[in-house]
Amino acid sequence: MRRILLELSFTIALTLAAIFSSAAGASASDIMVTGAFARASATPVAKSGAAYVSIMNHGIITDRLLAITTAAARSAELHSTVMDGDMMKMEPVEHVDLPPGGTLEMKPGGLHIMLIGLVAPLKQDGEIQLTLRFEKAGDVTVKVPVGEVAAGSHDHTPDTSSD
């Protein structure tokens, strides 16, 4: 009996914590994810892929993007693209801060979400889901349409498809 009471009060405490944290302006609705897209795999044996989103923080406190998960790949990592001499290379980024009123735009050649260990190659016109975990806003799941192989690139050479 005593144990049940303890568990009950624990549950109440958690609920109160949830109420207070949303009262402080940190709910999932403060975070808006737009313009999500992924690039189609160039080959049927591709083991990794890239996805991009823009994130706006409409809240009044800084939030932080902590992690990304997806059923489409074994893991998803936040990467930045840096120049190392003439070489472009990618570096894992542990987290990204989102100041109030700020917008974070991911794009090819910049910050991106690396999908590592694709369950299946990403097919153009398909769709995957990503769950973005924020420190304050919690989990935000977004649908991510899969565009062409070079989707999001402004200076790619014309492709050879019939259109």
Q: Which residues bind Cu ion (CB under 5 A)?
A: 79, 90, 114
How far is Cα 112 from Cα 52, in angstroms, rounded to an integer? 5
Cβ proximity to Cu ion: between 61 and 149 the closer is 149
Q: Which of 123, 109, 162 is nearest to 40 (CA)?
A: 123
How far is Cα 137 from Cα 22, in angstroms, rounded to an integer? 8
Q: How far is the CB of 13 from Cu ion (least distance, A)?
A: 40
Cβ proximity to Cu ion: between 68 and 137 the closer is 68
Q: How far is the CB of 76 from Cu ion (least distance, A)?
A: 10
Cβ proximity to Cu ion: between 61 and 114 the closer is 114
Q: How far is the CB of 90 from Cu ion (least distance, A)?
A: 4
User: What DSSP assignment string belongs to 11-73?
Assistant: HHHHHHHHHHHHHTT--GGGEEEEEEEEEPPSSTT--EEEEEEEEEE-SSS-EEEEEEE-TTE
Q: How far is the CB of 45 from Cu ion (least distance, A)?
A: 18
Cβ proximity to Cu ion: between 33 and 50 the closer is 50
Q: How far is the CB of 153 from Cu ion (least distance, A)?
A: 15
Cβ proximity to Cu ion: between 79 and 136 the closer is 79
User: Which two structure tokens, joined as six digits, stand for 132?
Assistant: 């973005």
